[in-house]
Amino acid sequence: MRFLGNKTRLLPFLLDSVEALGIEPGVACDPFAGTASVGRALKLRGWRVHAGDLLACSYALQVARVELDRTPGFRVPARLSYSALLERLEALEPRHGFVTEHYTTAGEAGARHGRMYFTPENARRIDAVRERVGAWGAAGYLDEAREQLLLATLIEAADRVANTTGVYASFVKTLQPNAVKPLELRAIRSTPARNGSAGCTASRGAAADLLAERGSVDLVYLDPPYNERQYPAYYHIPELLAEGWGEEPELRGKTGLIPDEDRRSDWCRRRECEDALRTLLEAADARHLLLSYNDEGLLESGRIESALRAWGDPDSYDCLERPYRRYRSDGDGPNRRYARDRVRERLHYARGR
């Protein structure tokens, strides 16, 4: 899934840094999991990972990529493998449901705002799959992990055909090549437990709550938002797919935003992000702490360094850097210009007292 701040391309840098700092595998807490790419990579290195995030779509991806050690079978009600079940879902009769009505021009509400997030054909397939998964869950055919795995599969499939530039804060006014391809449900590979990494968990909630719940751990890895873009507004459609619409939400604006006040982050507020960091550090009980943040973030590096020196052993503080090509959800234009094509990822480190 295309996601702001996704660390997939930076995984070699992150993993090499962990090794260079002499941090041995143990129990890790990743409370800003996003697409769960870092949690999955740590699990493959032998870490037992406890992941979390405020977003429901992240929770589904955490279950699929971190919590599950093996691909489960299904009974819906007949016994089916994961791949066979995906084939059955792809073969469902398309239907005009919530996504078609509100996020395509085939629906009265969508047409009123000119919304072109999906082609009507793909939206009908998305509606059919989401409603069937919800019905199976309500009937007791799916436990929590299996339902979240299917939702993660649908979220990724929908993202591949979404008529956006990578985020859902807006849609493209003409159909892009990816958007006209048919929806395809691709299996998500589970991450096998190895060398002590069994027992990984996924969760949804505030970062400080997850840290407090887990108590003392070997590593806390923090990858918070670094600018003023609130993620619920940028990923409202993946959130809808994750949560469903049993009680239809009241959408707002041209892009059909969902109510999201309960999942907005102080990390995206310039006047509150430093307090958010210090509050989180108070909840962190770890032998080692790593904070990913780039050099264009709201928080200056000096303030991060001061907070980490106050939290842990001040002499242990270190900052490793790696340049990378910035993520662009749109291009240069008369109203938008990027100052630089490349930014620097900074990995701030401190050892616990």
Q: Would the pLDDT of 159 be above 80?
A: yes
Cβ atoms of 255 and 112 within 8 Å: the answer is: no
Q: In this structure, which amino acid lies at residue 180? A: V
Q: Would the pLDDT of 317 be above 70?
A: yes
Give the pLDDT band of residue 330 (cuts 50, 70, 90): very low
Domain edges within the chain: 1-70+194-230+267-353, 72-189+231-264
Give the pLDDT band of residue 335 (cuts 50, 70, 90): very low
Digit-coded pLDDT (tens) for 84-122: 999 999 999 999 999 999 999 999 999 999 999 999 999
Mean pLDDT of the chain: 93
Class of domain 1-70+194-230+267-353: alpha beta
**What per-residue confidence (pLDDT) applies to 327?**
54
Please work out, in degrees rounded to the nearest 5, the angle formed at the alpha carbon of residue 316 by the alpha carbons of 311 and 321: 100
Give the pLDDT band of residue 8 (cuts 50, 70, 90): confident
**What per-residue confidence (pLDDT) applies to 341?**
64
Give the pLDDT band of residue 318 (cuts 50, 70, 90): very high
**What per-residue confidence (pLDDT) applies to 73?**
96
pLDDT above 70 covers a percentage of the chain that reads 95
Digit-coded pLDDT (tens) for 57-71: 999 999 999 999 999
Q: Would the pLDDT of 195 be above 50?
A: yes
pLDDT above 90 covers a percentage of the chain that reads 83
Q: Would the pLDDT of 329 be above 80?
A: no
**What per-residue confidence (pLDDT) applies to 89?**
98
Give the pLDDT band of residue 332 (cuts 50, 70, 90): very low
Q: Would the pLDDT of 243 be above 60?
A: yes
Q: Average pLDDT of 125-139? A: 98
Strand order in the sheet with 342-351: 48-51, 27-30, 217-222, 286-294, 342-351, 318-325
Q: Would the pLDDT of 231 be above 70?
A: yes
Give the pLDDT band of residue 324 (cuts 50, 70, 90): confident
Q: Would the pLDDT of 336 be above 70?
A: no
Cis bond upstream, residue 77 (ω within 30)? yes
